[in-house]
Amino acid sequence: MTILQGKKILLGVSGGIAAYKTPELVRRLKDQGADVRVVVTQSAKEFVSPLSLQAVSGNDVSESLLDRQAELAMGHIELAKWADFILVAPATANTIAKITHGIADDLLTTVCLASAAPIAIAPAMNQQMWHAKATQENLIVLRNRQYLIFGPGSGDQACGDVGLGRMLDVPELIDACVEQFQDAELSAAGQHWVITAGPTREPIDPVRYISNHSSGKMGYALAQAARRIGAKVTIISGPVNLATPLGCDRIDVESALEMHRAAIAQAPQADVFIACAAVADYRIGQVADQKIKKSQDELTLTLVKNPDIVADVAKLEDKPFVVGFAAETQDVEAYAKGKLLKKNLDMIAANDVAKQGQGFNSDQNALHVFSTTEKFDIALASKAQVAQQLVELIIKQNSK
Ligand code: PMT
């Protein structure tokens, strides 16, 4: 039995020359045991006949949003709910742009907007259109929304140009679909993940505090990625300006002591604990009751050490799988490995926070992840993509 056996795949065909490959694509998906339904755009019909697609898929081909008869058979919302997976192949620059901007002016784009299923795009266009800023920026948006982008390939194009923009060949598209379903088998269903995120604020007096530049973006992206694969997620969050990811629970805290209390209360019921927060190592020993007045030329504040939250979670008798972060500005590997051992962690994700455009308060990150025996690199990408890769790594390491 193949991994595509019984999977409901909706193939969306838009109007590019590569549409001629879609009857073969449908046949190969059917060979794998998939149940395939096809939606074509009006311009797709110039390149491939709906009748051929109907014959090879064994199902009616849907083509109109405003067709009463078709809506009676399987309406656009039903189609959107039916699909386990949507593959748009070929995806023209125009269809990609419409999907990116939520334009739903035909059946294919409406189904994409109305479906909760994972969506893959197989771009097919002239190499200049592929390189156009508009197309590339649309693809960044789609990647950040977890759309899968299959291809494109490079080579001779129908218009005579040579370069990137060819739709992947049918066997490559089948492999990409298989890989997607293998990845989807990574599941955290039934697991509870607790994730610390954001900065802490250590009060000096009623109006002042010590803090850092953490925005919470990395921790929240991890929460979203864990939730997406079925985990129950609790975020223990320092003060941030971010909305709680859909379906996650959130406990708001301010200081390291409050974060410590919440973590020690939550961690014993957790399967995975990720310490992504930038916790202040020290707090003010004696917090002033009233606002400190500007009477002296010098002011000395005495700092005392905060408890180490992640190390204390790792000491729990029934400890979860514990993942720490390391924010380093030099000797990243050596310091990260030192923290892994000293804090008795299962894994540590190190980021070089001295580099521009990653780490604190940026939209991108890159990680070097260490277990006691292995090293993995996650290349610079959006925090959503980095989080997805880290979550997959945690699942794999935790199931060893
Ligand atoms: O929030 P963003 O703007 O998206 O930025 C993300 C990030 C840079 C904050 C994040 O990727 C990150 O590196 N988080 C860890 C920051 C940090 O405090 O690193 P550290 O090397 O000082 O601490 C090591 C580990 O111990 C961390 O897991 C930290 O959460 C934990 N720790 C530290 C001190 C303390 N008292 N208790 C802890 O649990």
Q: Return the sign of the alpha-carbon dihedral for residues 396, 397, 398, 400.
A: positive
For residue 325, pLDDT over 90 is answered with yes
Tally Cβ neighbours within 10 Å of residue 221.
27
The pLDDT tens digits for 203-223 are 999 999 999 999 999 999 999
Q: Which one of 112, 159, 177, 276 is the catalytic residue?
A: 159
CB 120 within 8 A of CB 86: yes
For residue 20, pLDDT over 60 is answered with yes
What's the pTM? Answer: 0.66
Average pLDDT over residues 132-149: 93
- What are the start-end ranges of the E strands in the chain? 8-13, 35-40, 61-62, 85-91, 119-123, 148-149, 153-156, 162-166, 192-197, 202-205, 208-210, 232-237, 249-252, 272-275, 282-284, 303-305, 321-328, 347-352, 364-370, 375-382
Largest CA distance in the chain: 87
For residue 271, pLDDT over 90 is answered with yes
Residue 229 CA to residue 148 CA, distance in Å, equals 16
pLDDT of residue 175: 87
Q: Give one DSSP letter per residue of 269-305, joined into a string.
A: G-SEEEE-SB--SEEESS--SSPPPS-SS-----EEE
Q: Which atom of ligand 1 lies at the shortest distance from residue 256's CA?
A: 36
SS3 content of the chain, % helix, strand, coil (to 5): 35, 25, 40
For residue 189, pLDDT over 70 is answered with yes
Q: Which atom of ligand 1 lies at the shortest distance from residue 307's CA?
A: 36
Where do we find the tokens 């739903």? 104
CB 328 within 8 A of CB 350: yes
pLDDT of residue 72: 65
For residue 1, pLDDT over 60 is answered with no
- Which of 194, 213, 276 to probe ligand 1 with, by most ligand atoms within 8 A of CB? 276
- Measuring from each residue's beta carbon to the nearest atom of ligand 1, which residues come in under 6 Å? 196, 198, 214-219, 256, 275-279, 281, 306, 308-310, 324-327, 339, 351, 353, 359-361
For residue 13, pLDDT over 70 is answered with yes
Domain 8-180 of CATH type 3.40.50.1950: yes
Residue 302 CA to ligand 1 center (angstroms) comes to: 23
pLDDT of residue 300: 93
pLDDT band of 399, cuts 50, 70, 90: confident
pLDDT band of 145, cuts 50, 70, 90: confident
Q: Which residues pair with 327 in a beta bridge?
A: 351
For residue 400, pLDDT over 80 is answered with no
CB 154 within 8 A of CB 148: no
The pLDDT tens digits for 89-126 are 999 999 999 999 999 999 999 999 999 899 999 999 99
Residue 61 CA to ligand 1 center (angstroms) comes to: 52
Average pLDDT over residues 47-68: 91
CB 61 within 8 A of CB 53: yes
Q: Start-end ranges of CATH 3.40.50.10300 in the chain? A: 187-398
Q: Which of 8-17, 18-27, 244-253 has the lowest mean pLDDT?
A: 244-253
For residue 133, pLDDT over 80 is answered with yes
Q: Start-end ranges of CATH 3.40.50.1950 in the chain? A: 8-180
Beta strands 8-13; 35-40: pairing state: parallel
Beta strands 192-197; 282-284: pairing state: unpaired
Using alpha carbons, select from 115, 121, 69, 74 the residue that is nearest to residue 96. Answer: 121
Q: Return the sign of the alpha-carbon dihedral for residues 193, 400, 364, 264.
A: positive
pLDDT of residue 184: 65
Q: How much of the chain exceeds pLDDT 70, in percent? A: 97
Residue 177 annotated in active site: no
Kindly report the average pLDDT of the chain as a whole number.
Answer: 93
pLDDT of residue 70: 67
pLDDT of residue 113: 95
**φ and ψ at 55, to 5 degrees?**
-65, -45
Domain 187-398 of CATH type 3.40.50.10300: yes
Residue 269 CA to ligand 1 center (angstroms) comes to: 22
pLDDT band of 394, cuts 50, 70, 90: very high
CB 176 within 8 A of CB 182: no
For residue 368, pLDDT over 70 is answered with yes
The pLDDT tens digits for 301-316 are 999 999 999 999 999 9
For residue 321, pLDDT over 90 is answered with yes
Q: How much of the chain exceeds pLDDT 90, in percent? A: 79
Average pLDDT over residues 159-186: 85
Using alpha carbons, select from 207, 208, 240 the residue that is nearest to residue 221. Answer: 240
